[in-house]
């Protein structure tokens, strides 16, 4: 795909910044992020040099899974603002040349969605129940769940309801929290509803959607049991009857027709935890979504073979359908890469807190930060688009010592408090070094670091945007400079990549224009002749230290 950038669709090259709205910036002083907060930081994002923002669910929600339990898809959570404020924000972002992607959650709603309330209050077999997945239980009294599926967060994936007559009755499916009932995508009304939801937001100017659990909506006919001892993790080792069923593709072909009926190259990106890469390619077909997070990349450890293999597999897979790659190292569901790269953790893999979060006593943040900075240069030089999760540009580590009585992730509760879950990567951002407030997160100066929705650690201010602003070597300035180079360097973004061999501990590739990206996983070594454009670390006498990376123009 080597046509010039100006003639490429914007999303083939875009660098998108993920805003976890609850933790980004608090503009009304209640300790939770909001739309006002986003508006106040648009200039920062513009300065950072990103092309688009993706905002996690901002709909009215009981917040059992922080917005991923949607009670009304056509409005804004009152704690976050109003619909007119959202429209204002979309316009302001557009004026700054920033595209806006919102999250859509079609696999499940909140149990407070009006349809689910109706379903519970209606009879078995009714039209209202058919919008969700209700079944009779097994056993003499229907006391055994309809099948053996587990929830991703822990425990059974079924919850029994009390019928109108006061007796225990049918069960409903919830692949996630109990308060997140799965929709029945065999029901035409569900299809029509989501088509309406898409149009509602497209009419308000959004440029695209991030589709939550995009591989989950369709379940295998008959809801067959899974083999005992298989877990329901999102990135399953095997195809399970609730992940990656072929029927999902028909839904996306319809959605593509809707996106295409609007001007301005509206896009969608799938959260499809699907492996191998060849299965992802199906979601990327031109008449479907065209974009999907590259979770093989995200689940790589800091290891040259692992990363290279995953990059190769991804590039091969997307080539077959002509889609751009979407690289990602971080999001609101996984341990931050600073910690992962230091500890050799694979996110999303592992059954317990220990597997997922690793051994704190072995954590060397200096190494983690060094690798995360190199990872940034690697990711931003690869062909295609990339996603940055808020705070990644500050090299924020995971917060590992949130007091247990402050944890809010449903994974913590559903795992019976054996898995601390994902709150450690969701702590409200440190904007300033001001320890007496909430490090600039809230406009309410009196709020204090303990009183945001998740408490901030004492050391949070060291990583603040303010502290990094004037330090030319800060991670924030590394991202800014890399993104600036990326804008003008003709070989970056979508296009070709050519590996070249330096040593088995050096990952090196060329992009058009004599551009090279070099990442060193082994001992310090002498770089080739040419001009260094940017480096993750200081280069003396042409020596690139271990865990360092750079971009250069080869002589
Ligand atoms: C997605 C979201 C995650 C959420 C889950 C259920 O994986 O990224 O945060 O808990 O879906 O909606």
CA 331 to ligand 1: nearest atom: 8
Distance 475 CA to ligand 1 centre (A): 28
Give 534's contacts (C-beta < 8 A, 6+ positions apart): 377, 478, 481, 482, 485, 550, 551
Q: Using alpha carbons, select from 160, 542, 553 the residue that is nearest to residue 381.
A: 553
Q: Which atom of ligand 1 is nearest to the CA of 153?
A: 10
Cβ 548 vs Cβ 537: under 8 Å: yes
Q: Measured between alpha carbons, how far is 261 from 281 in angstroms, rounded to an integer? A: 23
Query: Per-residue b/e over 485-518, b at no fewer than 16 CB within 10 Å?
Result: bbeebebbbbbebeeeebeeebbbbbbeeebbbb
What distance in angstroms lies between residue 152's CA and the mean position of ligand 1's atoms? 10
59: three-class secondary structure by DSSP: coil
User: Which residue, judged by its Cα, is nearest atom 3 of ligand 1?
Assistant: 333
Q: Which atom of ligand 1 is nearest to the CA of 69?
A: 12
Which residue's C-alpha comes closest to atom 4 of ligand 1?
A: 68
432 with 440: CB under 8 angstroms?
yes
Whether omega for the bond prior to residue 276 falls within 30 degrees of 0, making it cis, is yes
Q: Report CA dihedral (382, 384, 385, 389) to the nearest 10 degrees.
A: -30
Under a CB-based contact definition with an 8 Å cutoff, are residues 294 and 270 in contact? Answer: no
Q: Which two tokens stand for residue 516?
A: 């090279």
User: Which active-site residues does the annotation give?
Assistant: 212, 271
State in Å, rounded, how far the first CA of the chain is from the last one. Answer: 25
Cα torsion for 540, 307, 14, 384, to the nearest 10°?
A: 110
Residue-by-residue pLDDT tens, the chain, 555 positions: 456 778 899 999 999 999 999 999 999 999 999 999 999 999 999 999 999 999 999 999 999 999 999 999 999 999 999 999 999 999 999 999 999 999 999 999 999 999 999 999 999 999 999 999 999 999 999 999 999 999 999 899 999 999 999 999 999 999 999 999 999 999 999 999 999 999 999 999 999 999 999 999 999 999 999 987 777 677 666 779 999 999 999 999 999 999 999 999 999 999 998 878 788 999 999 999 999 999 889 999 999 999 999 999 999 989 889 999 999 999 999 999 999 999 999 887 666 777 788 888 999 999 999 999 999 999 999 999 999 999 999 999 999 999 999 999 999 998 899 889 999 999 999 999 988 899 999 999 899 999 999 999 999 999 999 999 999 999 999 999 999 999 999 999 999 999 999 999 999 999 999 999 999 999 999 999 999 999 999 999 999 999 999 999 999
Domains in the chain (CATH in brackets) are: 5-110+184-469 (3.20.20.80), 114-173 (3.90.400.10), 496-554 (2.60.40.1180)
The model's pTM is 0.97
b/e per residue, 45-61, with b = 16+ CB within 10 A? beebbbbbbbbbbbbbb
523, with CB counted inside 10 A (0-12, 13-18, 19+), is exposed
Residues with CB under 6 A from ligand 1: 65, 68, 105, 176, 212-213, 271, 332-333
347 exposure class (CB count in 10 Å sphere: 0-12, 13-18, 19+): buried
Mutate to test the pocket of ligand 1, among 107, 154, 213 (most ligand atoms within 8 A of CB): 213
Specify the 3-state DSSP secondary structure of 429.
coil
């Amino acid at each position: 795909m080597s046509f010039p950038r100006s003639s490429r669709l914007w999303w083939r090259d875009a660098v998108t910044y993920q805003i976890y709205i609850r933790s980004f910036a608090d503009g009304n002083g209640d300790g939770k992020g909001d739309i006002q907060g986003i508006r106040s930081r648009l200039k920062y994002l513009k300065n950072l040099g990103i092309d688009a923002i993706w905002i996690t669910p901002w709909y009215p929600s009981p917040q059992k899974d922080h917005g991923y339990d949607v009670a009304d898809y056509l409005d804004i959570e009152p704690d976050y603002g109003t619909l007119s404020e959202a429209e204002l924000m979309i316009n302001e972002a557009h004026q700054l040349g920033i595209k806006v992607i919102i999250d859509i959650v079609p696999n499940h709603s909140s149990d407070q969605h009006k349809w689910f309330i109706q379903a519970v209050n209606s009879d078995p077999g009714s039209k209202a129940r058919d919008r969700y997945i209700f079944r009779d239980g097994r056993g003499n009294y229907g006391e055994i769940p309809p099948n053996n599926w587990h929830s991703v967060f822990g425990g059974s994936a079924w919850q029994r309801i009390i019928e109108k007559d006061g007796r225990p009755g049918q069960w409903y499916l919830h692949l996630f929290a109990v308060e997140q009932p799965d929709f029945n995508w065999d029901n035409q009304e569900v299809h029509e509803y989501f088509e309406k939801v898409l149009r509602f937001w497209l009419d308000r100017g959004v440029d695209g959607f991030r589709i939550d659990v995009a591989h989950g909506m369709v379940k295998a006919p008959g809801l067959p049991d899974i083999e005992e001892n298989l877990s329901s993790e999102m990135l399953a080792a095997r195809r399970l009857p609730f992940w990656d069923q072929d029927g999902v593709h028909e839904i996306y072909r319809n959605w593509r027709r809707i996106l295409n009926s609007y001007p301005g190259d509206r896009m969608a990106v799938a959260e499809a935890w699907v492996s191998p890469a060849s299965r992802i390619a199906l979601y990327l077909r031109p008449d479907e979504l065209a974009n999907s997070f590259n979770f093989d990349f995200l689940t790589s450890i800091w290891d040259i073979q692992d990363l290279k293999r995953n990059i190769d597999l991804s590039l091969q897979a997307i080539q077959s359908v002509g889609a751009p790659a979407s690289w990602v190292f971080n999001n609101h569901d996984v341990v931050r890469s600073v910690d992962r790269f230091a500890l050799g953790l694979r996110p999303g893999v592992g059954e317990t807190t220990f597997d997922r979060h690793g051994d704190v006593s072995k954590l060397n943040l200096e190494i983690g930060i060094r690798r995360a900075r190199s990872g940034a240069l690697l990711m931003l030089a690869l062909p295609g688009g990339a996603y940055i999760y808020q705070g990644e540009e500050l090299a924020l580590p995971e917060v590992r010592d949130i007091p247990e009585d402050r944890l809010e992730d449903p994974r913590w509760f559903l795992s019976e408090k054996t898995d601390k879950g994902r709150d450690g990567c969701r702590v409200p951002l440190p904007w300033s070094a001001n320890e007496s407030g909430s490090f600039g997160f809230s406009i309410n100066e009196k709020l204090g670091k303990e009183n945001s929705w998740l408490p901030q650690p004492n050391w949070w201010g060291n990583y603040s945007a303010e502290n990094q602003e004037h330090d030319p070597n800060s991670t924030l300035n590394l991202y800014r400079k890399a993104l600036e180079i990326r804008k003008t360097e003709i070989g970056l973004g979508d296009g070709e990549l050519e590996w070249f061999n330096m040593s088995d501990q050096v990952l090196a590739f060329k992009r058009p224009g004599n551009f090279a990206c070099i990442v060193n996983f082994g001992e310090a070594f002498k770089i080739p002749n040419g001009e260094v454009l940017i480096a993750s670390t200081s280069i003396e006498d042409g020596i690139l230290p271990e865990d360092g990376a750079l971009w250069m123009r080869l002589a």
